[in-house]
Chain A
Amino acid sequence: MEYLHSLSLVVPELILTVSGLIMVLFAAWGGAAASRAVSIACCVALGGAFALVAPSVCAGASGLETIAFFGQVRADAFAGFAKLLIYAAAGAALVVSSAYFEKRGAMRPEFPVLILFSALGASVMVSATDLIALYIGLELQSLAAYVLAAYLRDDDKSAEAGLKYFVLGALASGILLFGISLIYGFTGSTAFDAINVAMADGLSGGELFGLVFVLSAMAFKISAVPFHMWTPDVYEGAPTPVTMFFASAPKVAAVALLARLSLEAFGSQTAAWQQIVTFAALASIVVGALGAIGQENLKRLLAYSSINNVGFILIGLATASAAGAASMLLYLLFYVAMTVGSFVGLLLLRDADGNQLETFGDIKGLSTTRPALAWCLLAIMFSLAGIPPLMGFYAKLVVFQAAVEADLLPLAAIGIAASVIGAFYYLKFIKVMFFDEPVDRVQGKADTWHWVLLALSVLVISPLAWLATGWLGNLADLAAASLFIAG
């Protein structure tokens, strides 16, 4: 009975696993000709998993009946919310990747399979309530990601990105394992709730070391300052659809995992991690804002932008409250939409030969040559800068609101000040696109699916979405509440 119940809770993961395994067989026998079919099948599998997770999020699943496999994973509304974002982001990456890689003659059916397994790992990460499940999920997701970064192996930059990501990621995994072993050694358990109980009567030196090591490794995975150095290089070197995937799905997973780890496993020692998270949040916001200023390459710029956004998300975590966790989820939702939108916009910047254009010089005067694209990018950049009435503003608003409610006024104030600095380079996009002399380099033919994705993400961040904020806020509150109801 126990196993049947557990299995029924991990059905989305089972769907991804089984379809991934079947797709591996198709990839082995179908060869490159099967790429498109495998891509579509993987999208369908992600869609199926999405549809299965959605009801539990709407119902705000929480409590004992969400615990599977003796408390190793939990399929509550919090995990569900993150999973929806992960599946949507992975599906979006699949939609845009076929065209991109076919142009380079590099499309093979292993690509969608790796994305699928990476999404599976991310999905295990967000459900993990045990350090072993955490580690295995993280490794599954990262291992697939290392390969994806180096996927264009004949391209020097892609190979460099893959190697850098792998070496630094392996180091982070080592640090994480070291921290996990310390925590296990000093608390006597790998389960989050047992660790919480063991830490309740004060933090021993070993536990503190373990906590710091684990948080450092997680900071690497979400590319929070001071562990962000790899981000611009990897984001620039990796193929653009892969960069889009990196900036969305794994980041959502790692942020959700960090939230669950901090609030559940280390929930009784809030003060110990709160200052670390606060520092990482502020440093990420400031470094993300300042580092982006001199960048000419748009992908590097978006990498700094994602560092900056992670900082805002961490403000939500630093409050250590249910409202903060809910604001994180809402921020993540709009962050994913903005990330997908901005990278799809980048993918649409192609010259007459179909090569990707990636610098500010290429988009000068885009508004006269490609007005639709320029206006979409304008909406996304305004939203990233947090200018009302776009939803990027709402995301920042809920985070700051949670911070103010938790008496973290200085944190909110510095965050707002730094977001003004950040607005500079988002506005530079708009200045270059709308007020510079047109260079007319963007010639590439439009792809319908790219436009569908771009339109969808612009719709999500458009003022129309204000109508849904009540509903979304309710969902996020339910999800955050499920995190605080001890199983």
Chain B
Amino acid sequence: MIQVLAFYLFACLAVLSGALVVLSRNPVHSVLWLILAFFNAAGLMVLAGAEFIAMLLVIVYVGAVAVLFLFVVMMLNIDFAELRAGFIKNAPLGALVAVVLLVELLVVVILGQAGPVTLGTPDGSAAPLLGEGNTENIGALLYTRYIFLFELAGIVLLVSLIGAVVLTHRESRAIRAHQNIARQNARRPEDATELKQPESGKGVSL
């Protein structure tokens, strides 16, 4: 019963915040909603017995990816006065998201007191193996059974890295002004200046 309640809480909030990611006009708000969506997805993962993926969602997605998004979105328009004004404007929403997260944390802690959560599929057939956490299971499978795909995923990341460099890196030598000291020292006054004595009343042609 408690699990079902928690499931609907997390699921509704996930769908709602997911919709708000798309609907809100302010990109900073979108990222804040996204954080909430990630957090609720993590809650769902805990209910499904996949605590490792839940932790990944919180640590990697909320902790790193979403915060990076937030930085990038805020960097897009570097106007500090506006940024400060934006902070005050965004503060209520940020506080709201924070409060929701806090409430959810409390819910998890209180529900945790009520006994272990085993949900998986309705008939429990997909429940994790007994005796081992699924962190161990994932580790054992990832480096044995799925080693080929795991390494290939590494190649995918490498390709995205190469792609980013290919598309953005520029040889900056032509643009940046280099100080060539030897050339400066070799330059004589007569190379750079010219003395002319124009007759009075006439100009010089340069």
Contacts and interface: CB of A to CB of B under 8 A. Distances in A.
B148 A117 contact: no
B18 to A, nearest CB: 13
Interface stretch (B31-39, B128-136, B149-157): B149-157
Nearest to B151: A17
Given A72-B146, A136-B149, A150 B167 contact: yes
Interface stretch (B95-103, B158-166, B178-186): B158-166
Given A6-B148, A72-B148, A150-B167, A136 B153 contact: yes
Max chain B C-beta neighbours (<10 A), residue from A69, A111, A124, A140: A140
A143 B160 contact: yes
Interface of B: 126, 145-149, 152-153, 155-156, 158-160, 162-163, 165-167
A150 B165 CA distance: 12
A133 interface: yes
Nearest to A120: B155
Max chain A C-beta neighbours (<10 A), residue from B158, B165, B166: B166
Given A114-B166, A151-B166, A153-B167, A133 B149 contact: yes
A72 B149 contact: yes
Nearest to B157: A143
Contacts of A151: 166
Given A20-B155, A114-B166, A132-B149, 9 more contacts: A21-B158, A69-B147, A117-B158, A117-B159, A121-B156, A133-B152, A139-B156, A143-B156, A143-B159
A21 B165 CA distance: 15
A253 B152 CA distance: 17
5 contacts: A69-B146, A121-B156, A130-B149, A132-B149, A188-B126
B162 A24 contact: yes
A132 B152 CA distance: 11
A3 B147 CA distance: 10
B149 A147 contact: no
A110 interface: yes
Contacts of A69: 145-149
A144 B165 contact: no
Contacts of B160: 143
A70 interface: yes
Contacts of B146: 69, 72, 132
Interface in A143-164: 143-144, 146-147, 150-151, 153, 162
Contacts of B159: 114, 117, 140, 143-144, 147
A292 interface: no
Interface of A: 3, 6, 10, 17, 20-21, 24, 68-70, 72-73, 108, 110-111, 113-114, 117, 120-121, 124, 130, 132-133, 136-137, 139-140, 143-144, 146-147, 150-151, 153, 162, 188
A137 B167 CA distance: 22
A68 B146 CA distance: 11
Contacts of B149: 69, 72, 130, 132-133, 136
Contacts of B165: 110
A73 B152 CA distance: 12
Contacts of B126: 188
Contacts of A3: 147
B163 A124 contact: no
A117 B167 contact: no
B166 A147 contact: yes
A113 B155 contact: no
A409 B165 CA distance: 52
Contacts of A108: 166
Max chain A C-beta neighbours (<10 A), residue from B148, B149, B162: B148
Contact of A113 (B145, B156, B162): B162
Max chain A C-beta neighbours (<10 A), residue from B145, B146, B163, B167: B163
Contacts of B167: 147, 150, 153, 162
A137 B148 CA distance: 11
B152 A140 contact: yes
